[in-house]
Structure 1
Amino acid sequence: MLRAFFRTEAGSTSVLLIATVLALLWANSPWGGTYEAFWHTPMGISFGDAHFSLDLRHWVNDGLMTIFFFVIGLEVSYEVRLGQLRDRRLIAVPAVAAFGGMLVPAGIYLLLNFGGPGAGGWGVPIATDTAFVLGVLAVVGARCPDPLRAFLLTLAIVDDVLAIMIIALFYTASLSVPALVVAALLLAAIMTLRWAKIWRAPAYILLGFALWVATLESGIHPTLIGIALGILVFVYAPSDQKLLLAGEAVQEFTSEPSAQAAREATRRVQRAVSVNERLQLRLLPWSSYVIVPVFALANAGVRLDGETLRAALTSPVSWGVVLGLLVGKFVGISLGTWLPLRFGWGTLPGNLVWGQLLGGAAVSGIGFTVALFIVDLAFDDPAIHAEAKIGILAGSLLSAAMGWVIFRLAWDRGGVCAPPEAEPAEELPELLTVPVGPEDHVRGPDNARVTIVEYGDFECPYCGRIHPILEEIRKRKPDVRVVFRHFPLRTLHPRAASAAIVAEAAADRGKFWEMHDILYDNQRFLTDADLEHYAAELDVEPWSDVAGHVSRVALDEASGRDSGVRGTPTLFLNGVRYQGALDLSSISRAVEELRESP
């Protein structure tokens, strides 16, 4: 579910970006006056004497965006009941980080605007735009592992829920009690249908639309209903009985194909999967590729002429939003991550390293969709409206740039995959405890003057980066050999252990280094199916002796722990721990010094 979500959100980022650019071009073109005129075009529904009308922008912001928040509600419901949010220790860190990432930006904004006409916009810099963040992480690529995406997705879910609560509590102008009572009755009717296990889509659609209208008339923003309805949608893990019935129906269709059997097989298979997951599959592409881009097109257009930009440069609203997103998000999320880790309130998915966490904190300052949403609720003055939007655009761009720089610096300085608290307080051993022997995987001559022992992990991006560096050194210096020992970081890289087992299976056929190179060339594709495909290419049986290969990997791990290995890659040059940077020039210089020594 998370992987599908990542792919859809990251892929939709380009569409969202195009919509944003189009809005800006439209608003700043010679026909810029038509931008506001178009989105203020009224559109309504009439039934007899009853008439319900909104302008196009409000149909987008109050109508289409309710579906967007409904999808968020579906995701929250799924993650709490079946996904990552079931584990309270995994929730604690991103939840506190999300709270810090809202409190600090709001505080920075109020420091600059308290008592002024823009004070009500303190909610603008609090929200993170999930689609843009995941799009930036897709560009970052191997520098951003899946656990960081999972951490930021959890943070974004908590962030969205808190933002909706803030909208409901602080951006509701007035309440209509009769409409509120009608909305409560309609919500109770939907909950009754759910309790009675009546799953007729037309009933839910009719009641849901009526609830949306009643909520809109009550004064509460209808997006709150969107996320509430999403949370109410039933979610469950497929039961053995439903899976068995689905399997039988498919088997019956396979043996005697017919339209009737096909319909029954389809029905049984669908029932095995919860309504929540089926709705996510259908609505997520519409939300990501249509609703959010249309929202950006309707709201991101702001005039960027000299007068507007000069006003924004001196506006506390613009600076409050920029600093809230750029500095507030980074500081708030970083502190909110450090505190629960420091006091043992929770753990990280995969024990991420701090360079990755800081990069994630920086890109979380990309606030767009919900930020623009709150601008529309917070300000009536068109001038302040424009200043806030310019702040959102500038702050989001700067946050994306800062995140990219942090990821790049962490990568270029030669990172090591290890948990933030992995290094023990005591001094680590300097010497390799188990010398190179005949059972090791060696590349190079037996009489080499320099032996480089690498403790590596096939899923570690830093190991993938150092792999061509060691090969280049070996090609330049024929009297250097490289020894690879397994040190899979199971909590950080869940596929590394399986990859190590398959590499050992290849070693049984004398093809360890061929498999070694294939695995590092395909680090992002290490599922069991991928590993079996690579094994087939080398005519290797991947799971022929799993117990024996696990024991062989365990020997390498034990020698690594005894030698003080705590992360990957860790290098030993002629039996001594290498402490320098993990780049070609630094390692080559260290190797050359050993070659020249007597």
Structure 2
Amino acid sequence: MSRASLVERLRTEPGAAVLLLGVTALALVWANSPLSSLYVDLWETPVAVDIGDLRFDMDLHHWVNDGLMVLFFFVVGLEVRQELSIGSLRRRSQRLVPLVAGTAGVAVPALVYLAVAGREAPEGWGVVVGTDTAFLLGVLALVGPAMSNQLRVFLLTLSVVDDFLAVTIIGVVYSDEVRVGPLLVALTCLGALWALGRLREWRSTPYVLIVVALWGATVQAGIHPSIAGMLAGLLVPAALTRRDDVVRTKSLYRAYWQSPSAGVARDVQHGLSRSISVNHRLHQALGSPVTLVVVPLFALANAGIDLRGGALAEALGSSVTWGVVAGLVLGKLVGVGVGTWVALRLRLGTLPDGVGPGSVLGGAALSGIGFTVSLLVVDLAFDDAAHAQAATVGVLLALIVASVVSWGLFATARVRWGEESADLPLALDPPVDPRHDHVRGNLDAPHTVVEYFDFECPFCARTTGMWRDLRDHLGDRIRYVVRHLPLDDVHPHAHLAAVAAEAADRQGRFWEMHDRLFAHQSELEAEDLRRHAAAVGLDLDQFDADLGDEALHARVRDHAVSAAASGARGTPTFFLDGTRHLGPHDAATLIAALEALGTDGPAAERP
């Protein structure tokens, strides 16, 4: 296996989980080997950095936990901001169920820990409140349903709430004595980050410099820097890419093509950066280093506990160990499960489509994998070395037990409740019927591409030239079908525009109207539609009558129902030979996917 392919595998969720397990095993073996003194000495190596009158003097272990791990929590903050701005926490109906479940998934484990180990070591309750999102998703990919993307979205949203509460607890409860001067500097840095967002600063450098200053001020203030990383990530703005930015960048590329020079190349780079939010660019730049370097290094520094000389037996006899196991495994399962049930009973929201109760319970069990956050709190919570060692053993045991319990719950859900997947449907429903669908190209072509589109969606096929690119490459081997999916909540004119296209179809002008509407996406008011109808040669009296025909409105709604039954939730969504396409949907990717399918005969003859 080449180095590049190995790195790509490690970047996947199962690969990241396997890497963490491997590093954890290495730490345990090292700490219990004849070279254990070398392990201890390595992490106790003092490292001092002086900047003027400021001095950062910590051992290597604390540089990892208090320094590098800030990147981990910064990335978590970036992800939370993405979910709040453009993701699953944007809508009330989507966020309330995981909000309630996530809150219960923090409170119940803490209560369970205190019930089991409160007398011996009450300060350790924070060990059981967090969930290791990366580990959770990796184990989900290994033991969960074959198709579990919707469950993954639910668990990600849940972990956003979990992480935010856990980091807040770390920053507030497990911080040292606070020094006012550096704290004021830290607050000033947070204000500067907020101002950059308000000013729509697109360059990443100012954000990075302020985050570095924020980290230094937080360390000097005596507050654990995890909360600084989370808050900094929350203040970095996230937004969807706008179509006009993409078009502007395309024109810059054209200028570079015609006259390549360093100055034009710089303009292209700036154009690309402007078109993608600074949040997404920082997340893309930091995601792999955090997954492949920071978190494994943290595991190596914190999972190595010496279990020789009766230490393991002592840990297994400690209520701290079993308090951590009970809190993470039982507390998370009960907290998330009951929290979800209560939220659904109160009708605060719904579960994602395709996710059943068995999958929720399996995911709740997986949230008992605390690992990264739990080990960090172990280092902060306990002054007693024996308690810290027992808690670490509990975290590692909980990782194993939670994985096994979740596997059992997923298997039970599959056998007893028929929950074969936890995802949206993949098959096109109903299949293409040339008598009713709008088809471009050879009716008997071996390949069929179906696009669900919205006339106000700036990224749908007509704007990007998808049909032309596919036709130019595949010729008569492809037929192209479009179905309506008006996103009424964000595109108020899309439904009537779809009806206008269907009205044009009654006069044999569907594709002319289709192309005209996409060419004038900002002009879709009722009067605009009449003007477009005249431009493509329609009889306006008949067009006006058809525009009010309930049968055409019902046809558009039927397309939307078909989209829901097929798993299409946004536009554009593509189906290749009857199966929903996942991943990028640029022309080159779709062509490669179609070529990989081969040609088994005319599309109409294939299921």
Q: Does 1:271 align with 2:202?
A: no
Q: Does 1:339 align with 2:342?
A: yes
The 8 Å contact of residues 8 and 284 in structure 1, kept in 2 or not, is answered as no
Q: Does 1:182 align with 2:119?
A: no
Give how far 1:209 is off: 2.5
TM-score normalised per structure 1: 0.70
Q: Does 1:130 align with 2:61?
A: no
The 8 Å contact of residues 24 and 303 in structure 2, kept in 1 or not, is answered as yes
* Distance in 2, Cα, partners of 1:509 & 1:50: 74
Match of 1:52 among 44, 56, 69: 56
One-letter identity of the residue aligned with 2:134: A
The 8 Å contact of residues 144 and 356 in structure 1, kept in 2 or not, is answered as no
The 8 Å contact of residues 126 and 377 in structure 2, kept in 1 or not, is answered as yes
* Distance in 2, Cα, partners of 1:396 & 1:346: 30
Give how far 1:496 is off: 3.4
Per-residue Cα deviation, 1:498-551 (whole angstroms, up to 9, x for no partner):
684499999x85989x99xxxxxxxxxxxx99xx99xx9998645347589x98
Match of 1:211 among 210, 214, 217: 214
TM-score normalised per structure 2: 0.69
* Distance in 2, Cα, partners of 1:42 & 1:502: 72
One-letter identity of the residue aligned with 2:428: A
Aligned residue for 2:355, secondary structure, equals coil
Give how far 1:354 is off: 1.2
**TM alignment of 1:500-579, pairs within 5 A:** 500-501=431-432, 541-544=478-481
Alpha-carbon RMSD across the aligned residues, in angstroms, is 3.6
Match of 1:42 among 23, 40, 46: 46
Q: Does 1:401 align with 2:404?
A: yes
Instruction: Please name the residue that 1:120 is paired with.
Output: 123
One-letter identity of the residue aligned with 1:289: L
Q: Does 1:159 align with 2:90?
A: no
Per-residue Cα deviation, 1:23-62 (whole angstroms, up to 9, x for no partner):
1111111111222221111101134665321110111111
The 8 Å contact of residues 249 and 271 in structure 2, kept in 1 or not, is answered as yes
Give how far 1:375 is off: 0.4
The 8 Å contact of residues 93 and 349 in structure 2, kept in 1 or not, is answered as yes
Q: Does 1:297 align with 2:300?
A: yes
Q: Does 1:379 align with 2:379?
A: no
One-letter identity of the residue aligned with 1:496: A
Match of 2:318 among 309, 315, 318: 315
Aligned residue for 1:289, secondary structure, equals helix
* Distance in 1, Cα, partners of 2:410 & 2:206: 49
* Distance in 1, Cα, partners of 2:433 & 2:259: 40
Give how far 1:92 is off: 0.9
Instruction: Please name the residue that 1:73 is paired with.
Output: 77
Per-residue Cα deviation, 1:365-409 (whole angstroms, up to 9, x for no partner):
111000000001100111111100000000110000111122123
Instruction: Please name the residue that 2:358 is paired with.
Output: 355
Q: 1:176 to 1:546 in 2, by over 3 A?
A: closer
Instruction: Please name the residue that 1:62 is paired with.
Output: 66
Instruction: Please name the residue that 2:537 is paired with.
Output: none
One-letter identity of the residue aligned with 1:284: G
Structure 1 range deviating more: 312-321 or 264-273: 264-273
Give how far 1:207 is off: 3.5
* Distance in 2, Cα, partners of 1:502 & 1:306: 74
* Distance in 1, Cα, partners of 2:474 & 2:205: 52
Give how far 1:310 is off: 1.2
* Distance in 2, Cα, partners of 1:133 & 1:542: 42
Instruction: Please name the residue that 1:86 is paired with.
Output: 90
* Distance in 1, Cα, partners of 2:268 & 2:51: 42
* Distance in 1, Cα, partners of 2:93 & 2:239: 22
Match of 2:252 among 249, 253, 266: 249
The 8 Å contact of residues 8 and 288 in structure 1, kept in 2 or not, is answered as no
Q: Where in structure 2 are there 5+ consecutive unaligned residues? A: 1-7, 450-460, 485-501, 503-553, 566-607
Q: 1:345 to 1:537 in 2, by over 3 A?
A: same
Q: 1:302 to 1:251 in 2, by over 3 A?
A: same
Q: Does 1:493 align with 2:496?
A: no
Residue identity over aligned pairs, in percent, reads 41
* Distance in 2, Cα, partners of 1:240 & 1:509: 34
Q: 1:251 to 1:372 in 2, by over 3 A?
A: same
Q: 1:502 to 1:283 in 2, by over 3 A?
A: farther
Aligned residue for 2:310, secondary structure, equals helix
Match of 2:108 among 90, 104, 107: 104
Aligned residue for 1:269, secondary structure, equals helix
Q: 1:253 to 1:415 in 2, by over 3 A?
A: same
* Distance in 2, Cα, partners of 1:96 & 1:123: 19
* Distance in 2, Cα, partners of 1:228 & 1:7: 26
Per-residue Cα deviation, 1:225-245 (whole angstroms, up to 9, x for no partner):
111111111222223432221
Aligned residue for 1:44, secondary structure, equals strand
Per-residue Cα deviation, 1:309-335 (whole angstroms, up to 9, x for no partner):
211221110000011111111111110
* Distance in 2, Cα, partners of 1:113 & 1:56: 31
Q: Does 1:229 align with 2:166?
A: no
Give how far 1:554 is off: 7.2
Give how far 1:251 is off: 2.6
* Distance in 2, Cα, partners of 1:538 & 1:51: 68
The 8 Å contact of residues 27 and 303 in structure 1, kept in 2 or not, is answered as yes
* Distance in 2, Cα, partners of 1:142 & 1:113: 35
Give how far 1:195 is off: 4.1
Per-residue Cα deviation, 1:255-306 (whole angstroms, up to 9, x for no partner):
4444443332222122111101010110010111111110000001112225
Q: 1:502 to 1:232 in 2, by over 3 A?
A: farther
The 8 Å contact of residues 61 and 295 in structure 1, kept in 2 or not, is answered as yes
Q: Does 1:171 align with 2:174?
A: yes
Instruction: Please name the residue that 2:26 is paired with.
Output: 22
* Distance in 1, Cα, partners of 2:367 & 2:55: 42
* Distance in 2, Cα, partners of 1:315 & 1:244: 63
* Distance in 2, Cα, partners of 1:260 & 1:544: 43
Aligned residue for 1:62, secondary structure, equals helix
Per-residue Cα deviation, 1:173-216 (whole angstroms, up to 9, x for no partner):
32112222232233334444444455665544443323222211
Match of 2:150 among 143, 147, 150: 147
Give how far 1:348 is off: 1.6
* Distance in 1, Cα, partners of 2:358 & 2:202: 47
Paired residue total:
464
Instruction: Please name the residue that 1:448 is paired with.
Output: none
* Distance in 1, Cα, partners of 2:216 & 2:348: 42
Q: 1:42 to 1:266 in 2, by over 3 A?
A: same
Q: 1:343 to 1:204 in 2, by over 3 A?
A: closer
Give how far 1:357 is off: 1.1
* Distance in 2, Cα, partners of 1:538 & 1:503: 18
* Distance in 1, Cα, partners of 2:188 & 2:108: 38
